Amino acid sequence: MEPRIVPLIVRESIEERAAAMAHAMAVECASERPLLVGLLNGAAPFLMALVRHWPAAGQAGLEYDFIDVKSYVGTQSSGHVELVKDTRVDLAGRDVIVVEDIVDTGLTLHHVLALFKDKNPKSLKVCSLLKKRVERLHEVPVDYCGFEIDDLFVVGFGLDFDGIYRSLNYIAVLELPDGKEPE
Ligand code: IMP
Where along the chain do its domains lie?
10-149
Residue 147, CA distances (Å) to 36, 56, 72, 152, 177 in order: 19, 25, 26, 13, 26
- 148 Cα to the center of ligand 1, angstroms: 13
91 lines ligand 1 (CB under 6 A): no
* Mean pLDDT in residue range 48-77: 87
Give the model's confidence band at 77: pLDDT under 50 very low, under 70 low, under 90 confident, else very high.
very low
Point out which residues pair with 149 in neighbouring strands.
132
Q: Is the CB of 107 under 6 A from ligand 1?
A: yes
pLDDT for res 78: 60
CA distance 147 to 14: 9
Q: Which CATH number fits domain 10-149: 3.20.20.20, 3.40.50.720, 3.40.50.2020, 3.10.150.10?
A: 3.40.50.2020
**Which residue out of 65, 104, 143, 160 is catalytically annotated?**
104
pLDDT digits (tens, 9 = 90+) for 98-142: 999 999 999 999 999 999 999 999 999 999 999 999 999 999 999
| Atom number of ligand 1 nearest to Cα 79 | 2
* Parallel, antiparallel or unpaired: strands 95-103 and 63-72: unpaired
Answer yes or no: is the C-beta of 45 below 6 A from any ligand 1 atom.
no
Say yes or no to pLDDT of 84 above 50: yes
Task: Please report which residue ranges of 103-162 form alpha helices under DSSP H.
Answer: 107-117
Mean pLDDT of the chain: 93
Measured distance CA(52)–CA(22) in Å, rounded? 9
Hey, how many other C-beta atoms are within 10 angstroms of the C-beta on 154? 24
**Predicted model pTM:** 0.95
N- to C-terminal Cα separation, the chain: 18
Active-site residue 90, yes or no?
A: no
Residues with Cβ within 8 Å of 159's Cβ and at least 6 positions away in sequence, in order, are 42, 101, 102, 130, 165, 166, 171
Is the CB–ligand 1 distance for residue 86 below 6 Å? no
Query: How far is the C-alpha of 108 from the C-alpha of 166, rounded, in Å?
Result: 19
**pLDDT at residue 74 greater than cutoff 70:** no
Neighbours of 87 (CB within 10 A): 18
Confidence bin at 31 (pLDDT 50/70/90): confident
62 near 47, Cβ under 8 Å? no
Cα 160 to averaged position of ligand 1 atoms, centre (Å): 9
Q: Enumerate the β-bridge partners of residue 9.
A: 171
For the Cβ of 97 lying below 6 angstroms from any atom of ligand 1, the answer is no
**Residue 161, CB half-sphere, CA atoms under 13 Å: how many?**
19
Gap between the Cα atoms of 27 and 97, Å rounded: 13
